[in-house]
C-alpha cells in the first residue's frame, strides 16, 4: 500500500506558484485531509450528473474537465494540473456539472465534503482561499469564452499552449526546455472549438514558424515572446495562488 503524503512533506506546498501556509493553516490542513486516491489513465475523477462526497486537490498528474452536450459532442472546458482543486461545484451543488478525466496517472488529496463548513466557521483565511480559487476558475472560463469568440484558430492554439506552458513552468516541471504535454490533439481541439485537422494544421504551422512544437508528449516553446504576441497575451507569470 502506498504511503499517504503528509502535508508537511507536500512536494507542491513549497513551490513558488503557491501561497505559503501559516503553521495554524498547515495544522488544520493535516486534520482536514482524509487520505489519497490514485486514478489510472482514462479514469474518471468526477462524472457529470453524479454527486461526490469529497473535494480533491491534485497532488500529481493531469486531467481534463469536459461537458457532454445533448447531441453527444464533448466540450473540454479546462485542463487540470497539480495543485488544482476538483469537486467544489459538486460539493456545494450536490452533483458535478462536468466530468474530470485523468490523462496521466493522477494522485489526489481527499477532503471530506461535510467538513468544508469547518473552513468558514474556524478558519476564515482558508475559506477565503477557497473563494479565491472559485473566482479564479470563473475568470479563466470567462477568458476561454472570449478566446472562442474573438480569437482565430492560430490565436486560440497559441493561447492554450502559452497557458499550459506557464502553469507547468511555474510548477517547476520544465526539463531541457520542454514541459509534459499528455493531452491529445482531440483534447486541444475540443477545448478550442476546432476540428482535429484544423488544430493539427495550426500546430504544424507554429512549428514551421519556429514558435512551438509538440513532440513525444512534450511541449517546447522556442520563441515565447512571439508566441505570446500571436496569442494576444502579455508575458507575465501566473499569479501566486493558494493551495488547499
Domains of the chain: 7-143 (2.60.120.10), 147-231 (1.10.10.10)
Return per-residue pLDDT of the chain as tens, 244 residues. 467 888 888 889 888 888 888 888 888 888 888 899 999 999 999 888 787 778 899 999 999 988 887 777 888 888 999 998 888 765 555 677 788 999 999 999 998 887 777 777 777 777 767 776 766 665 555 566 555 656 788 988 998 999 899 999 989 999 999 999 999 999 999 888 889 999 999 999 999 999 999 998 999 999 999 999 998 887 676 667 778 8
54-60/85-86 β-pairing? antiparallel
- What number of residues does the chain have? 244
Closest by Cα among 136, 128, 195 to 163: 136
Q: What angle do CA 1, 80, 9 make, to 5 degrees?
A: 45
For 63, the 3-state DSSP assignment is strand
Strand order in the sheet with 63-68: 44-46, 99-102, 63-68, 74-80
Q: Which three cell numbers stand for residue 22?
A: 501559516
pTM of the model: 0.86
CA 23, CA 72: separation in Å to the nearest integer? 48
Are 194 and 153 spatial neighbours (Cβ–Cβ below 8 Å)? yes
Amino acid at each position: 500500500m502506498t504511503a499517504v503524503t503528509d502535508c508537511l512533506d507536500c512536494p507542491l506546498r513549497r513551490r513558488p506558484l503557491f501561497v505559503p501556509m501559516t503553521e495554524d493553516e498547515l495544522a488544520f490542513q493535516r486534520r482536514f485531509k482524509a487520505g489519497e486516491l490514485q486514478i489510472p489513465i482514462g479514469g474518471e475523477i468526477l462524472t457529470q450528473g453524479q454527486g461526490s462526497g469529497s473535494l480533491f486537490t491534485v497532488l500529481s498528474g493531469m486531467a481534463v474537465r469536459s461537458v457532454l452536450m445533448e447531441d453527444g459532442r464533448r466540450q473540454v472546458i479546462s485542463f487540470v494540473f497539480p495543485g488544482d482543486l476538483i469537486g467544489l461545484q459538486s460539493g456545494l451543488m450536490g452533483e458535478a456539472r462536468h466530468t474530470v478525466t485523468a490523462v496521466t496517472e493522477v494522485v489526489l488529496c481527499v477532503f471530506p465534503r461535510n467538513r468544508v463548513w469547518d473552513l468558514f466557521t474556524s478558519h476564515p483565511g482558508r475559506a477565503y482561499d477557497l473563494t479565491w480559487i472559485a473566482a479564479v476558475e470563473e475568470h479563466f472560463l470567462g477568458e476561454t469564452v472570449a478566446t472562442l469568440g474573438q480569437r482565430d484558430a492560430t490565436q486560440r492554439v497559441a493561447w492554450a499552449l502559452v497557458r499550459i506552458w506557464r502553469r507547468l513552468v511555474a510548477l517547476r516541471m520544465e526539463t531541457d526546455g520542454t514541459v509534459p504535454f499528455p493531452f491529445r490533439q482531440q483534447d486541444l481541439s475540443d477545448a478550442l472549438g476546432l476540428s482535429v485537422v484544423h488544430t493539427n494544421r495550426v500546430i504544424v504551422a507554429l512549428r514551421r514558424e519556429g514558435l512551438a512544437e509538440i513532440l513525444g508528449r512534450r511541449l517546447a516553446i522556442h520563441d515565447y515572446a512571439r508566441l505570446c504576441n500571436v496569442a494576444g497575451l502579455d508575458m507575465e507569470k501566473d499569479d501566486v495562488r493558494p493551495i488547499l
